[in-house]
Structure 1
Amino acid sequence: MSSDLWSFSLATYARPGVEDACLQLQTAGVNVCLLLCGLWLEQRGASCDEQRAGQLQALTGPWDIEVVQPLRTLRMQWKARALDDGVLKGMREQVKALELEAERTLLSRLEGIAQVWGRSGAGSIGWLEALAGSAANLNRDALQVLRVAAIST
């Protein structure tokens, strides 16, 4: 198992089926970085409670809204036009790199909060369910794909 969240996230995302599961969950409104952090915490045996989940969500929300989503939106808006415009294609790749760096920064910040959380008794809820919210009920198969991939990481 990778000890840092970024390496764990890259290794998990590369597993079969994970990208599709993440995109399905992202479409349902779930933050993928937050879920990857939840997987990492599950693998580390950190117990989950509402306070801890709330801390991660409070950190993620503003960064996602103010930094990641605008970059993703711009990248997606340019997708079709970049097929026929080499300059725009290059700029789109730069935006994509910025988006990835923004996600890496978020994962680093999440790790900074969560890395000291150890086993502190039985958590009342699972990390993925807590962090996926209402989307967890509709996307149980996608969450299971993530759990299986994380075990193999």
Structure 2
Amino acid sequence: MALWDWTLEAYARAGVPEACLSLQDQYGQNASLLLWAVWAEAGDPVMLARAADVARRWEALALAPLRDVRRALKPSFEGVSDSARSALREDVKAVELRAERVLMETLEAMTEGRGGVHALTALEGASKAWGKPAPSDVLAALAGALG
């Protein structure tokens, strides 16, 4: 199954969105990288480092700025109708999702076969490759939600 399709199915599972958002917002992780690592069963530190480098650069160029704009558009803005602001926010949200998909497709193209490691091991490796690793219990919650 293609990574994007797998990700959509995985994200529909109970606990996955919450765990991904917690890892992103509280621990500075990249959810796309983490999900890719589980899908790829990634355990090779070299591959994880390459993937983290691409994800880090894409995060800085596209994902973080789009996320910031989307979040900034959430509250009312004096002088702009709520419906116009909300519609623009939805447009930005769609572009942010497209940027996440571009990253996922890029990571999938970099994948050289499945690594065969357990989800938690892949998450720990990806989190470490990203930078400051997230707490093991938080990664374990995502691994458990992914099944």
* One-letter amino acid of the structure 2 residue matched with residue 40 of structure 1: W
1:59-78 paired onto structure 2 within 5 Å: 59-78=54-73
Residue aligning to 1:85? 82
Residue by residue over 1:108-144, the C-alpha shift from the partner in whole angstroms, topping out at 9 and shown as x without a partner, is: 0000001x32448x89x922111112333x2x23322
Unaligned runs of 5+ in 1: none
Contact residue 16 and residue 146 of structure 2 kept, 8 A: no
Moved over 6 A (4+): none
1:147 correspondence with 2:147: no
Unaligned runs of 5+ in 2: none
1:108 correspondence with 2:115: no
> Normalised by the size of structure 2, how large is the TM-score?
0.85
* One-letter amino acid of the structure 1 residue matched with residue 84 of structure 2: V
> Normalised by the size of structure 1, how large is the TM-score?
0.82
Q: RMSD value over aligned CA atoms?
A: 2.3
After superposition, the Cα gap between the structure-2 partners of 1:118 and 1:23, relative to the gap in structure 1 and judged at 3 Å, is closer
Contact residue 25 and residue 135 of structure 1 kept, 8 A: no
SS in 1 for 2:76: helix
Number of aligned residue pairs: 140
1:11 correspondence with 2:9: yes
Residue aligning to 1:34? 33
Residue by residue over 1:65-98, the C-alpha shift from the partner in whole angstroms, topping out at 9 and shown as x without a partner, is: 110110000000110127x611111011000000
Aligned residues with identical type, % of pairs:
35
